[in-house]
Amino acid sequence: MIFSSALIENAVNEFARMPGIGKKTALRLVLHLLKQEPSQVQQFSEVIARMRQQIRFCQQCHNVSDEDICSICASHSRKKELVCVVENIRDVMAIENTQQYNGLYHVLGGIISPIDGIGPDQLNIHSLVERVQQQGITEVIMALSPTIEGDTTIYYLSKKLKELPVKITTIARGIAFGGELEYADEMTLARSITNRLPLESYMQK
Ligand SMILES: [Zn+2]
């Protein structure tokens, strides 16, 4: 692609670094921005920059947050004794979209994957054990992807929580998932949370 303006070329290259955006789409977006008022484009770039600079992670559940404690943890209408363990913030969004879950979350920040060099120490596991010890949590729901890594992580967590007076369940994963939790359609995901199983019955399969 040949440009007569280095300014446009730079902008196209920045957009093309986004996942799923090729050079052609990037050019279309840039040309669209060129048609806007400069003040509008200024606002666009400021919103993006502010989002990146000011985003925080909830001190309790590690979800993205505007405050020290996220809006889910701070809500009075959520069941505080119920915690759903997920891999990342996209899973939180997927489960929230079902509108069928009324407990809290715990975002691990990944799953155990020796191949990728991710061990338990790199994940938010210690803080989960602390929460279960200190916050009167009665049930931990494992909502991790149905992969070897997901199973390894569930096994590790269940051993860590074994001595504590807490029920451990897993989302029903016999139902066909698209692989990753976030790709499951809302109905399927909602049903699998409602029909969650005790960990023992899952492990025996
Ligand atoms: Zn939180």
pLDDT averages per 10-residue partition of the chain, 205 residues: 91 96 96 97 96 95 96 96 95 91 96 92 96 95 89 94 93 57 72 82 61
Computed from CA positions of residues 145, 150, 153, 157, in that sequence, does the dihedral angle turn out positive or negative?
A: positive
Could you tell me if 100 and 184 lie in one domain? yes
What is the 35 CA–ligand 1 centroid distance (Å)?
40
The answer to whether residue 95 is domain-embedded is: yes
Q: Is there a single domain that holds both residue 38 and residue 96?
A: no
Q: If you measure from the C-alpha of residue 26 to the centroid of ligand 1, how many angstroms do you get, rounded to a whole number?
A: 35
pLDDT at 124 (0 to 100): 96
32 and 113 assigned to the same domain: no
204 alpha carbon to ligand 1 midpoint, in Å? Answer: 32
| Domain co-membership, 100 together with 194 | yes
Give the Å distance between the CA of 64 and the centre of ligand 1: 8
In total, how many domains does the chain have?
2
CATH of the domain at 32: 1.10.8.420
Q: What per-residue string of b and e applies to 35-53 under the rule 16 or more CB within 10 Å gives b?
A: eeeeeeeeeeeeeeeeeee
Confidence at residue 176, expressed as pLDDT on a 0 to 100 scale:
45
CA of 68 to the centre of ligand 1 (A): 8
101 and 25 inside one domain: no
User: Separation of 78 CA from ligand 1 center, angstroms?
Assistant: 11
Asked if residue 68 belongs to a domain, the reply is no
Residue 35 forms part of a structural domain = yes
Cβ contacts of 39 within 8 Å, gap of 6 or more? none
Residue 197's domain comprises 77-203
Same-domain status, 122 and 185 = yes
| Ligand 1 center from residue 3 Cα (angstroms) | 46
Q: How far is the CA of 61 from the centre of ligand 1 (A)?
A: 4
How far apart are the CA of 56 and the centre of ligand 1, in A? 11
Cα radius of gyration rounded to whole Å, the chain:
21
Are 45 and 101 part of one and the same domain? no
